[in-house]
Chain A
Amino acid sequence: MNTDYIISSSRKKETPDAQQLKRYLLETIDPSFAASVQPHDLLVAGTKFGCGSAMEIAVSVLLASGIKAVLARSFARTFYRNAINNGLVPVECETRGIHEGDRLIVSLDEGAVIVTNETRGNELAGSPFPAIILDLVTAGGLVQYFKIHHNFVASPQ
Chain B
Amino acid sequence: MAGKTISEKILSMKSGHNARAGDLVICAVDYAMATDGSAPMAIDYFEQMGGTTLFDPQRITFVMDHYSSSAHQATRSLQQKMRDFALKHNIFIHEIGEGISHQLMLETGRTRPGGLLIGADSHSVTGGALNAFATGVGSSDLAATMICGQIWLKVPHTIKVILDGSFPDGVYAKDVALALAERLGADGASYQTLEFHGPAADAMEIEDRIVLSNMSVEMGAKAGIFCADHKTFEYLKDRTTETLIPVEADTDAHYVSKIVLDVSLLEPRIALPHAVDNVTPVAGVSGTSIQMVYIGTCTGGRVRDFHQALGILEAAGRLAPGVQLVVTPASKEVEMQLQQDGTLEKLHRLGATITAAGCGSCCGTAGPIPADGVNVLSTANRNFKARMGNARASIYLGSPAACAAAAVTGRITDPRKLQN
Contacts and interface: CB of A to CB of B under 8 A. Distances in A.
B17 A146 contact: no
A47 B365 CA distance: 28
Interface in A3-29: 4-5, 8-10, 12-16, 28
Contacts of A131: 24
Scoring B37, B40, B66, B67 by chain A CB atoms within 10 A of each residue's CB, the highest score goes to B37
A55 B37 contact: yes
Interface residues of A, number: 44
Given A14-B74, A16-B40, A47-B187, A5 B141 contact: no
A11 to B, nearest CB: 9
A12 B75 CA distance: 9
Contacts of A142: 45, 49, 140-141, 143-144
Contacts of A16: 40-41, 44, 78
Interface stretch (A35-43, A77-85, A118-126): A77-85
Interface string B49-60: 111000000000
A14 to B, nearest CB: 5
B26 to A, nearest CB: 5
Interface in A40-96: 47-48, 51-57, 59, 74, 76-78, 81-82, 85-86
B144 A78 contact: no
Contacts of A5: 384-386
Contacts of B138: 54-56, 59, 78, 81-82, 85
Interface stretch (B146-154, B281-289, B334-342): B146-154
A14 B36 CA distance: 12
A25 to B, nearest CB: 14
A133 B49 CA distance: 17
A56 B38 contact: yes
B220 A48 contact: yes
B25 interface: yes
Given A142-B49, A152-B152, A9 B365 contact: yes
B37 A74 contact: no
Nearest to A17: B74
B49 A143 contact: yes
Given A16-B40, A51-B186, A10 B50 contact: no
Interface residues of B, number: 55
A156 interface: yes
B190 A77 contact: yes
B245 interface: no
Given A16-B41, A131-B24, A151-B148, A9 B364 contact: yes
B139 interface: yes
Given A56-B41, A142-B140, A143-B140, A152 B187 contact: no
A147 B67 contact: no
Contacts of A132: 24, 26, 152
Nearest to A75: B190
Given A77-B220, A143-B140, A28 B365 contact: no
Nearest to B71: A13
A17 to B, nearest CB: 10
Given A13-B71, A132-B152, A142-B49, A48 B365 contact: no
Contact of A156 (B26, B186, B222): B26
A85 B72 CA distance: 29
A78 B221 CA distance: 10
Contacts of B66: 9, 13
Nearest to B49: A146
B384 A2 contact: yes
11 contacts: A9-B37, A10-B386, A10-B389, A16-B78, A54-B122, A55-B138, A56-B41, A78-B122, A85-B141, A131-B24, A146-B50
Given A54-B137, A156-B25, 17 more contacts: A4-B363, A4-B387, A13-B74, A16-B40, A28-B385, A28-B391, A52-B384, A53-B121, A54-B38, A76-B187, A77-B191, A78-B137, A82-B138, A146-B144, A151-B150, A152-B148, A156-B24
